[in-house]
């Protein structure tokens, strides 16, 4: 490091004490003032942080460029999705060389037909620093498309309608929607969901009539419970419009025949606390995936469409303690069930006539298999995807009648250097401090010697029952090829080992998520995969909370940590019901207005537990317009860490001033963010090319 960089001084945020009091407990927040993005002093501080990060990593800029070009070079630029057929048209997404955004097109009846361009996002994105096309919904007669656009990155979409016959985009703009919409069967009635302007909670469903002013749209449903979100879609059978309302633990649906959009929706089955269900229509019945009757891992039930309340539901696939029922897909001839057993995805095929019931064969422990896009009810094949830590993603069509598979597409990894046989993966189990076995999926380049000297990046999420399955990444090859081991820790708080795995890592058991990650780290060190000098941790959003918790608890285990858009100011955020997401997340974290939850959350909230001690090297990232985790959480956290930490390790803060929770919108722009992260890690290992 040059003398100039060594003497660089990081920005120091002003301390303006604010007293926060509840339950006779007083917290002093010196950096509360950073929550005003309209304050020029806040913007100046964020820009100073960016300048500092740029200066400290200036010696890696050429390497960052090389990493970016290397990662980009593996990706096929002129790429095309596997076409799928729906209502007489083949739909295709195409990427063109040198362009950042997709082109959506369709072909009538057969793949030799002329291209009909629906949306060219490269043209639509011109003039915007951020651009994202939301949901596209095609009218049943194929003449109209509703679509939505976000140019701020706060997931507040503007909805419009395009005439696919004339190419005209109607001037009406419906602001502040979720981005999704659905047509009734009359081809002139469109339903959509809108958000609360302040909390961004999806709370209303509206009905729009074609060729009428959007100001005349009718409010169809308002979700009054501020812990619920609402949404609308059409059943795959096309017979029903369905309004859903859901919270973390409870769901409720309303249904209406799609042929009669001006009639009233009727409740499918009344909401009941902690009763979750989802519905799919087939013939004269609804199929219900539910946790009813203490079916922790869910079961499949059915009921006649004329008798939908829960007392009429009957078992189709009963509950099993060791198998999590994740999803179903209904075809005219078969039912397909997505299950998870011992952490592994399973795809089960059942014929409606009862003659067939079997599983597709998968033969390793570090793969992901998932049901793909299957909009056609009459298809005789299932489209699904398969990939693993060492195997690029494949899109596969499985024929129900012949039981044969056709690989429609395998992800291309460009360049001569990639050979899937050069890498190996495995699953290992660490023993947590309470005796529970925690699985990890591991990948590395063959020939690695386990002597404790290998750099290792350990990743996890661990919240909301969201499972991070082992997946292939062309980007990750830039670490593996430089000697890194990559580990996904399947810690509690996800659903890798079933619903109880989630229940045991939330609310008043949330700390299991953090201690599981630490216990996995200690296992990896004990087994000589790595050592504290070479161990790195990474997590984003709720996984960023995980990063904050582990460095407060065991900072000495890690040489470096990347916390992306981290949720670190948990107490203050969960006490502010005007911040997006807060009220809907009481069932995940607890409501700190209740003292028991307040005390527990405060005991692990990263921001509240920063201490005067040594911390690892750190890179923290955020987006100024993030709607999920507000930018000020990491900003305050970094400021407090700078104030209190006793080490001379790097603490870098990078803020995307144009983007939100998902980062940059361009196809390759996001690779620049990854290049920054990888350069940070590789630089700590002394690797510069």
- Among the listed residues 202, 246, 425, 541, the single catalytic one is 541
Helix axes 632-644, 40-56, angle to 10 degrees: 60
Q: In what order do the strands lie in the sheet with 103-108?
A: 84-86, 89-94, 103-108, 116-120
CA distance 672 to 57: 14
> In a 3-state reduction of DSSP, which class is residue 406?
strand
- Give the chain's length: 689
Query: How far apart, in whole angstroms, are the C-alpha atoms of residue 274 and residue 279?
Result: 16
Cα atoms in the Cβ-side hemisphere of radius 13 Å centred on 34: 25
On whether the CB atoms of residues 181 and 135 are closer than 8 A, the answer is: yes
Cα 402 versus chain centre, distance: 35
Buried b (16+ CB within 10 A) or exposed e, 11-47: bebeeeeeeeeeeeeebebbbbbbbeeeeeebeebbe
Q: Identify the active-site residue in 504, 626, 656, 683.
A: 626
Whole-number Cα distances in Å, 554 to 559, 568, 616, 642? 11, 16, 10, 18
Cβ neighbour number for residue 455 with a 10 Å cutoff: 23
Q: Which two tokens stand for residue 243?
A: 């309004």
CA-closest candidate to residue 243, choices 271, 212, 273? 271
Q: How far apart are alpha carbons 667 and 410 in whole angstroms?
A: 19
Q: How far is CA 626 from the centre of its chain?
A: 14
- Pairwise CA distance, residues 558 & 500, whole Å: 29
Strand-pairing partners, residue 514, are: none
Question: Strand 144-150 vs strand 651-656: parallel, antiparallel, or unpaired?
Answer: unpaired
Task: Name the active-site residue from 181, 661, 665, 683.
Answer: 661
Gap between the Cα atoms of 25 and 22, Å rounded = 5
- Cβ(558)–Cβ(521) below 8 Å: yes
Instruction: Quote the Cα angle for 316-383-110, to 5°.
Output: 130
Specify whether 661 is catalytic: yes
Residue 280: strand pairing partners: 287
Q: Give the residue carrying structure tokens 């959480």.
A: 633
Residue found by looking up tokens 């009810």 in the block: 377
| 3-class SS of residue 118 | strand
CB 203 within 8 A of CB 220: no
Instruction: Give the whole-angstrom CA distance, residue 377 versus residue 237.
Output: 7
516: left (phi over 0), alpha (psi -120 to 50) or beta: alpha
Calpha distance 535→556 (Å, rounded): 10
- Taking Cα atoms as reference points, which of 413, 439, 417 lies closest to residue 426? 439
> Is residue 626 annotated as a catalytic residue, yes or no?
yes
Residue 49 CB burial class (10 angstroms; 0-12, 13-18, ≥19)? buried
Give the catalytic positions in this structure.
541, 626, 661
């Amino acid at each position: 490091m040059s003398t100039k960089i060594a003497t660089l001084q990081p920005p120091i945020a002003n301390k303006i004490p604010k007293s926060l009091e509840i339950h006779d407990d007083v917290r002093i927040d010196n950096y509360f003032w950073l929550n005003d993005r309209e304050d020029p002093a806040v913007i100046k501080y964020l820009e100073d942080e960016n300048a500092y990060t740029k200066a400290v990593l200036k010696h890696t800029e050429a390497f960052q460029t090389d990493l970016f070009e290397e990662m980009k070079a593996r990706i096929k630029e002129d790429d095309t999705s596997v076409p799928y057929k729906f209502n007489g048209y083949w739909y295709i997404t195409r990427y063109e060389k040198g362009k950042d955004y997709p082109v959506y097109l369709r072909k009538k009846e057969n793949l030799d037909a002329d291209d009909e361009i629906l949306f060219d996002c490269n043209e639509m994105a011109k003039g915007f620093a951020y651009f994202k096309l939301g949901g596209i919904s095609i009218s049943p007669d194929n003449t109209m498309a509703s679509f939505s656009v976000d140019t701020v990155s706060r997931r507040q979409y503007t909805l419009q309608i395009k005439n696919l016959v004339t190419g005209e985009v109607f001037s009406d703009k419906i602001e502040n929607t979720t981005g999704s919409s659905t047509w009734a069967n009359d081809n002139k009635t469109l339903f959509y969901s809108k958000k609360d302007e302040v909390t961004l909670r999806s709370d209303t469903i509206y009905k729009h009539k074609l060729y009428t002013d959007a100001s005349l749209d009718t409010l169809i449903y308002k979700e009054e419970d501020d812990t619920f979100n609402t949404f609308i879609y059409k059943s795959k059978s096309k017979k029903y419009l369905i309004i859903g309302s859901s919270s973390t633990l409870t769901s409720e649906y309303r249904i209406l025949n799609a042929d009669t959009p001006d009639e009233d929706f009727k409740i499918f089955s009344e909401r009941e606390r902690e009763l979750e269900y989802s519905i799919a229509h087939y013939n004269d019945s609804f199929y219900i995936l539910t946790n009813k009757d203490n079916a922790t891992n869910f079961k499949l039930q059915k009921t006649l469409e004329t008798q939908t309340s829960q007392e009429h539901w009957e078992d189709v696939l009963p509950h099993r303690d060791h198998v999590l029922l994740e999803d179903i897909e209904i075809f005219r001839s078969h039912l397909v069930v997505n299950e998870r057993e011992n952490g592994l995805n399973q795809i089960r095929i059942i014929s409606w006539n009862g003659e067939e019931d079997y599983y597709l064969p998968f033969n390793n422990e570090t793969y992901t298999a998932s049901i793909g896009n299957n909009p056609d009810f009459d298809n005789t094949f299932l489209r699904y995807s398969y990939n693993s830590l060492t195997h690029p993603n494949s899109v596969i069509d499985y024929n129900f009648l012949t039981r044969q598979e056709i690989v429609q597409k395998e992800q291309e990894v460009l360049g001569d250097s990639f050979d899937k046989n050069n890498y190996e993966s495995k699953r290992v189990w660490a023993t947590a401090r309470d005796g529970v076995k925690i699985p990890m999926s591991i990948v590395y380049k063959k020939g690695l010697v386990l002597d404790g000297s290998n750099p290792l990046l350990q990743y996890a999420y661990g919240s909301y029952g969201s499972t991070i399955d082992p997946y292939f990444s062309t980007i990750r090859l830039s670490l593996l090829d430089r000697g890194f081991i990559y580990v996904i820790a399947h810690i509690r708080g996800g659903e890798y080992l079933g619903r109880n795995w989630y229940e045991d890592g939330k609310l008043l058991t949330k700390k299991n998520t953090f201690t599981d990650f630490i216990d996995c780290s200690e296992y990896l060190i004990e087994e000589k995969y790595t050592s504290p000098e070479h161990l790195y941790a990474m997590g984003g959003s709720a996984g960023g909370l995980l990063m904050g918790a582990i460095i407060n608890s065991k900072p000495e285990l890690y040489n470096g940590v990347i916390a992306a858009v981290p949720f670190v100011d948990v107490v203050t955020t969960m006490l502010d019901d005007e911040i997006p997401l807060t009220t809907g997340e009481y069932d995940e974290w607890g409501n700190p207005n209740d003292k028991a939850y307040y005390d527990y959350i405060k005991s692990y909230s990263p921001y509240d537990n920063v201490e005067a001690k040594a911390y690892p090297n750190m890179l923290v990232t955020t987006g100024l317009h993030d709607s999920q985790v507000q930018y000020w959480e990491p900003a305050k956290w970094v400021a407090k860490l700078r104030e209190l930490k006793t080490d001379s390790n790097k603490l870098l803060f990078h803020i995307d001033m144009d983007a939100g929770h998902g980062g940059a919108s361009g196809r390759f722009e996001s690779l620049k963010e990854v290049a920054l992260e990888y350069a940070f890690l590789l630089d700590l290992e002394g690797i510069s090319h």
